[in-house]
Amino acid sequence: MQKPTNRTFCSSYSDKLCHSPSLSLKKKMVGRFEGKVVIVTGSSNGIGRATAVLFAEEGAKVTITGRDDKALAETRKEMQVVGAKKEDIVAIQGDLIDEVIQKKIIDATIEQFGKIDILVNNAGGTAPSNTSTHGFDQTMETYDYVMNLNTKVVLSLTKRALPHLIASKGEIVMVSSIAGLPFALPGLPYYSMSKAALEQLTKSLAVKYIADGVRVNSVNPGAISTTIMQKQGLSEENARKAEAAVSSNRTLIPAGRIGAARDVAEAIAFLADRRVSSFIVGHSLVIDGGSSIMCPIFSVNMADTHN
């Protein structure tokens, strides 16, 4: 009597291996950015740190940058906690406004890893830390600083990285802001102008370099829990109080909460992952819990105004 044969849906030996429990487990453990080389500027805290940690968690080799050496060391530590090896991290301490630092970032990345696959232009700011004025009372020196940091530096570093990104058919993700969208922000005029310029830069680069295989997109965060308010002079306690007040007002954030740095990091990773976003080019992805789609006048119940 003929023995019954084992029935299987695998059509070949290699298919059977794919369904091996041990191999399947190993396959799942491979991160989506395994083998990729990423530069994340402004990685010493906030969105930059969360982004660097996420890429490390997903198997990438990462160059991190920042002005604060201690904070940068903390970022490195968090990256190693999620699995990054010491040799898979390059840390460059310095001010990106310095062109020597820009060159060092590119050169050190190529020397250590041999290529660049993804550039995340995250570094930016609203004003120098010693500025106490706001709005249009800020000086033209502050204007020059903000435009330089948020726009000129981004363009300069991108141009340095582009030959390597063209070679790898890579990705560029700009970290812009909802401040760059077509809304009036008289309290932060220089910052919003710089981010609006970054929007145009994103689209122009996207059109120019997609033919070379390089995709360029941006993320536009809204209210995110970072250290930005402390940098503007608020104590940590008052910053948290401000966040709580904004979160509780759904006419400001319909989602009812302040965003986390990880929310933005996940959006950056999505745009940097060609397997899931390959047909997205020159796009500005808003991450703001619905803030920018609100129309302030309609957030008021008109019936209540007649009481």
- Residues annotated as catalytic are 191
Phi then psi for residue 40, to 5 deg, are -120, 110
Q: What does the alpha-carbon distance between residue 215 and residue 33 come to, in Å, rounded to a whole number?
A: 16
| Residue 213, phi-psi category: left (phi > 0), alpha (psi -120 to 50), beta (remainder) | left
- Residue 25: its H or E element: helix 21-29
Contact 234, 141 (CB under 8 A): no
Q: What does the alpha-carbon distance between residue 119 and residue 168 come to, in Å, rounded to a whole number?
A: 12
The partner residues of 302 in beta bridges, in order of sequence, read none
Burial class (CB in 10 A: 0-12, 13-18, 19+), 36: buried
DSSP letter at 7 equals: P
Residue 219: what residue type?
V
Residues 198-226 as b or e (16 or more Cβ within 10 Å = b): bbebbbebbeebeeeebbbbbbbbbbbbb
Q: What does the alpha-carbon distance between residue 192 and residue 271 come to, in Å, rounded to a whole number?
A: 23
